[in-house]
Structure 1
Amino acid sequence: MNLLGITVKEIIRGEEPQVREDVPLKEAFSVMREKGRGYVLLTRDGRPAGILTERDLVRLINSGVDLRKPAYLYGNKELITCRADRSLWHALYLMLENSIRRLAVVDYENKFLGVITVEDILKVLEDDVFDRDLKVRDIICKRKFTYVNRNTSIKECLRIMDEKNIGALPILENMIPVGIITESDILKNFDDMDLSDSVEKYMSKPVITVEEDKKVYEALKIMEKQKIRRLVVVDNTGKVTGLIAVTDVLRAIGGDFKDFIQKLKHVKDILDIFPEVVLELVDRSFQEQIVIWQNKKAKEILGNLLDKDIKEIFPEIQWIQFYTQLIKEGKIERYKFYVNSSVYEVSASYLPVENKLYTNGKINLLIRDITKEEEQLKSTLRIIENYRRIINSTEDLMIIYEASTGRIKLFNMATLKTLAYTEEELKKMTIFDIIQDDHSIIRNNIERIVREDVVIRGERHYKRAYGDVITVEVVATKVELESTPHILVVARDIRERKKMEEELQESYRRLRLLYDFTLALNVCTSEGEAYNLLAKTLVEKLGVDSLTVYMINPSLNRISGIIHYGQDMQECMETDIDQCKVVLSTQPLVYTPDGLIDCPFSKVPREFSYMCIPVVSSGRIIAVLSMFSKSKDYFGGIVKELIESLVNTFSPFISNLRLIEITRELSIRDPLTNVYNRRFLMEVFEKELERSRREKRQLSVVIFDLDDFKKLNDTHGHIIGDTALKHVTTLVSNSIRAMDLLGRYGGEEFMIILPSTTKEDAVKISERIRKALKTNPLDIGDNRIFISASFGVATFPEDGESVEELLKKADERLYKAKREGKSKVVYR
């Protein structure tokens, strides 16, 4: 195992719990609980600014701190961070020097990436690091442990855990474990915990235990498997003798955390076999950096350098420049030193320390003699200069790079112009710094070109100096420079061609969308279905955030209905449309935050864009579509044109559907009262009866006839008679359920179909209607006309099995009601 060879990034757990530092403590601990990590990072501008742990929660509750206070007041601000590209050795050094269990991992810009813990590092250690003969009793016998009984209050448990700085308390009865209360249990219940409750209410059970005769290595494996940080230790009788935690295991490896680091000293033994020079320096001051360790290769090439100033090896001026940059950046790669006739490539890392009594920090150097490479490069450059004049005459990009390393050796002016790098930048780059495609595929192609002498063609994606990526068409072949295989790439910028292809694809997508929309419209059978299709197309296919449809009655010039789709949007019109710009102009209106056109009635936030467009039928506006997008330039040329095309296609279809619906309504409605006519009632009655028979449910029918209606007509005239019929249907409609059907059976006779209704309920409904008629007379000027009706009720299946039988029964009972004095409900 090479801890220098493993980077911190490789053991980061993944997504870490984090909140802004200004959130309330309660919210911070809620996130900690949700993520189940035992801690939460406090961030400021995306960077770690502090940390809260389960132990902090115990301390704060015990101290009576109001958890509504901001988290940054109580979070640990001394948060130690570690760059993701650092080695685990570096991470362990930081943990040792700062006596901490966790490190926050950040990238080059100090953006938070994750957290690593001592436990994480333990997981990557080789098994032979552990002393397999060390037993659990050897650890716990050296110290006492604290426990409570099940009647102890949770408040007392918090006090003990806070004062003794411990993370768990076993709950024992006669030294037998019945539960355990841990920091995690406190976190789980903190927001509804009553401190006067006994610990039994919140403790975890059953308790995970380990026998004291077990080996420490086995205890660690149990904790790893159970995903816990501590175990209750018991003897062979099951009685508790102590607790063991991960930190105890760590100390057990060598008696102390520093001793644990010593067990990893074999890392330097590995460095001894490196083919490069490796040095370790201590930085005692700006003027003095002393070698404290060197590998065998360093001693072989440079002699004994121990206790010598590094400036004895490198020129002082060069070293000071290097050292200054190293202190500033913390890491340098491939820095060239020129010493007499030799050239050295040096990579270094700097590890500062807080306790500067002895040293400011440590410097690790990896030194490689590249003198021969530099000489060969110069020779190669002289050769390829002859090619430069040739390849600069083409507008295509031409790049020659070394097959084995990918290092760019030659390029033409078109490459500089297209990729926007400087000559100095390109000379330091490899082809893999530019190509953004899978490098394993590129390496495989290089190997094929070199071995099989094939020509590779295809598309690649090149990264420009500005950070953007362009698509190029390449032809790659093998060339020889000084008997060394190189790759010649001729690349053509095809951005314009790609742009045209994308525009064609977009045009095809729009046409396809319009085609599919038209096909779908052809099978719509109602206005509602058509509007739903239009809304789905605009919201789901085009990505409009919200759509509101204002249905307009062109005869009344008023809004007749409003439908919302997508995100909620406050309505800009309620009933009147006189001030609507779209209605007034009959033209679409598009608003963008940077534009000049706006509607004073719009409720869309000013930072969004919106579009309103009319739906026109036979030259009259029948609806206005109002939609918005959170993108400020969403309703640009292409989208606007597509929406207009969709609406223009939609308008004649909706006109036809409206005519069809109107015709259908006329065919099933009584023209005077607007209730269903007899033909439609009979169709529905047959269907409802069949369904009731199939589902074994009751069905009732009511026939009622207005009493003395002929007399009313003779006395007041047919116009008043017609008004009376409308008055009756209005009262009855308000007295029945939405599922019930009311229709005109003939003249002054009406029928009500009552699905899933017993006779008892049908009688109640009839009585309610009878009373409503009696108590709501028809007022005509100064005249008050009282209207009554007689009712006959029949119910399936007790009164008949067919429509004819039920209608006959209901009709007979209606006339029985007439004979018995009118204004009566007869049901048997």
Structure 2
Amino acid sequence: MDINADIKGLASRIQKAVATYPIPEVFHEISRELKEIFRADRLCLVLIREDKHSAIDYFVYTTHGNSFLPVGSVFSLEGSITGEILKTRNPVIVEDTTEGRYSTDSLLLKEDIRSRLGLPLFYGGEVIGALCMGSCMVGNFSAEHVAVWMKISPFISVVAENARLIQRLKDSSEELTKEINERKRMEEELKALNESLEQRVARRTAELAESEEKFRKISASAQDAIIMLDNEERVSYWNEAAEKMFNCSKEEAVGENLHKLIIPDRFCGRHLKGFKIFQNTGQGPIIGKTIEVMALRKGGTEFPIELSLSGVQIKGKWNAIGIVRDITERKGAEEVLRRTVEERNDSIKEMKHLMDFSTLMREETRKDELIEHMAQVLKNIFDPDILAVLMLDKEKNVLDVALRDPPIPVDELIRAETILDPSLCRVMRTGHEHIVRDINRDPSCSCLLYKIERGGYVCFPIIAGGATAGVVLMIKKREDHWGSEERLRLVSTYVGMAAAALHRVQLMDITRRAAVTDALTGVYNRRFFDEMLEKQLALARRHNEPLGLLIADLDRFKDFNDTYGHLAGDRLLQQVARILKNSIRSSDVLTRYGGEEFAIIMPATDITAILEKAEKIRQGVESTNFDDIVPGRSLKITISIGAASFPEHGTEYTDLVSAADKALYKAKRGGRNRVEKP
């Protein structure tokens, strides 16, 4: 089954779908593509749920009507192909369904399905789902299908993980909505309760004004404290509820000055001032109102009360009647409600930040911009004094400090040994975060050179595609800044989302490079040459500069292939490509023009310099002993080169290429192993 072209095409189409459509439509496209590749009679894409005990059929392909159906049905992993994959992390092939295994895969349990195949879907080293398919033929699936899946699955895993993240955000949003509605209901009930209590106080105040006898009967059984003051602000009545509330008996209270008895010292001045007005007028700033104040129990303990005051004339003098309620429990409930609402608002804000960050990461296509955006968000949310992002350079196996904020010198931040050998960094080596909450108590790593007198720091790995691609370092010179597990969890979430986006960008870069790179030699291909030559000609015209073109052809390469075989010929082409690459400037463009031909585009280079460079290349190839192409043989090869220059030999693409071709033909006719110009 030759599907390399299909796989490359699939990668491109998946990227296009991710950038264009919502996740359900992306899965629709993926399912359609997988059906074409595997030729299955029935196919479903399954995502494992967070509980690890159940899964959801995301999309199903069925031959009946040739349709794709969004299912969304949940089934148990116990006894299923997907459950076996989660347990073993390996593919599952059922050659004949009459065995009766995996009975819970209802979507594949059809009378016409005779063989089944389950393939794992990995993300970040974790099994997040499976591709399950069925065939009407016994033994239809084999290890070859598994090999195909191993090539395809990396392109699908990022999309699947995004689907799981979106589902999590949706579930969290629904739970948060339920909680908000519940809080609103509690607030309404509390409001109704307060209104009911106020109505009760108003009724009792009116009843007390009607008759002192009635007042005494009511107050004796009242749950609220009822206190009466004479015109000299002495306590004249103190009911049983007041005794319990203030821990003070009627005998101790009656005749005493109320302000000295139950009012904290810091409020006495204000109360005395208001009572002097009341003595003469029956009016005052709190008469006829219900207020919340602090009161004193016997022994000096303060507690919150709700106080309703009214005035009544007895024998021509104004007396005050107070209804007092202990609102300690209500205040506690209000505080709980306040904290709950505050936490809800924080959760909503956090959720919005995460969704905005997810969108930002999903839309970014450049690695440097992605790192810059991630660092800016981390800086805004977690307020570190120093933030640094170190990325692994895989080719050189060194750490590259991609970002520092503020831009302190690298040699003052990280040890040079760690930069040159990333394995010395525990986070890079293990893929686990390193948390130093207090620099004076917790053990710190030897990688960090920057001196911290107090506070701490965190290092979080950037895991992209299951491998540690870098580290995020944040330093805060304040104690307990990193003490919150919730804060650390949030940092991990942001870095994880950025890492997933980075992996997606890396996959896109791999796909883009594959489209313009020659698979054998690793240099640019003919397609890239055509595009680049047109662009360089346009730049040369705009800046009025020369442009050089070399077309080189290995001499008697066909004879070499016939003598030593095509594999030896391939190794020779690879080594010659390396010689050419090491012989040119970084601004020059080396491409495989076709077969054993190479082309080199040389910007801002006149014909004299072009010929000099071509001669050095010819001499370099001629002088090289190719010792490791054929075992036990040291081989030689020569090269012929045709050189042409813009505008001297042509001002358009076709003219310049034709001139270089003619020069190459001239070199071949002249005896090979030569450099010629038209």
TM-score, structure 2 normalization = 0.47
Answer 1 or 2: which has greater helix percent: 2
